[in-house]
Amino acid sequence: MAKISFKPGNMLYPLPAVMVSVADKEGNANIITIAWAGTVCTNPPMVSISVRPSRYSHHMIMETGEFVINLTTKELSYAADYCGVKSGREVDKWKEMGLTPMQSEKVKAPGIAECPVNIECKVIKVEQLGSHDMFLAEVAAVHVDDRFMDEKGGFHLADAEPIVYSHGEYYDLGSKLGKFGYSVQKKS
């Protein structure tokens, strides 16, 4: 198999396609779809998102230091795409996509009720990196849809049919291949 030298760039795919909800100090809310989001630390729980300064939501995050990461699903893929290509300067994405703002517990930005997971975040650091600013945030609260809980208190995100973004396209996750540690698990 031959390898071809490719221009330097971000080829770390797939990524979670998340809708990030924000609000300014006056309570005006917006949604931006972001694929550049990730886990940073377990204890304390921390995440990061990267946003271009020209995006409408950027000033809201800078102003309040808060946002909510809302996980997307197969059912929400159209809304996720719409919220990524339309600007909140020109359109009310909540209204246009029929999404419901959900009051958050620890931040003023609303969550998206239709999403299976809402992660409330408080910014602790902003890194200006070039085309994007990275917002490093502590997780203040997490809300999960009880439809995906089992009787033992386990959460089954796969049942919500989450989606990922890969090089300009959205995909569902497909079938389970194994679980953490299955490569070294003793055979019964």
Q: What is the mean pLDDT of the chain?
A: 95
Domain count, the chain: 1
- Any idea what the CATH number is for the domain that residue 134 is in? 2.30.110.10
Buried-exposed string 10-41: b where 16+ CB fall within 10 A, e elsewhere:
eeeeebbbbbbbbbbeeeebbbbbbbbbeeee
Q: What is the pTM of this model?
A: 0.94
What are the DSSP calls for 61-121, one per residue?
Answer: HHHHSEEEEEE-BGGGHHHHHHHHHS-TTT--HHHHHT--EE--SSSSS-EETTSSEEEEE
Q: Could you tell me if residue 167 is inside a domain?
A: yes
pLDDT tens for residues 44-54?
A: 999 999 999 99
pLDDT band at 172 (very low <50, low <70, confident <90, very high): very high
Domain span including residue 48 = 15-172
> Rounded to whole angstroms, how far apart are CA atoms 84 and 106?
25
Q: Could you tell me if residue 121 is inside a domain?
A: yes
pLDDT tens for residues 69-87?
A: 999 999 999 999 999 999 9
pLDDT for position 175: 86
pLDDT tens for residues 17-53?
A: 999 999 999 999 999 999 999 999 999 999 999 999 9
pLDDT for position 53: 97
Q: Could you tell me if residue 181 is inside a domain?
A: no
Q: Could you tell me if residue 111 is inside a domain?
A: yes
Q: Could you tell me if residue 135 is inside a domain?
A: yes
pLDDT for position 67: 98
pLDDT beyond 80 at 188 = no
What is the number of alpha carbons within 13 Å of residue 25 lying toward its C-beta? Answer: 5
Q: Could you tell me if residue 80 is inside a domain?
A: yes
pLDDT for position 6: 81
Q: Could you tell me if residue 188 is inside a domain?
A: no
pLDDT tens for residues 99-118?
A: 999 999 999 999 999 999 99
pLDDT beyond 90 at 164 = yes
Widest CA span in the chain: 60
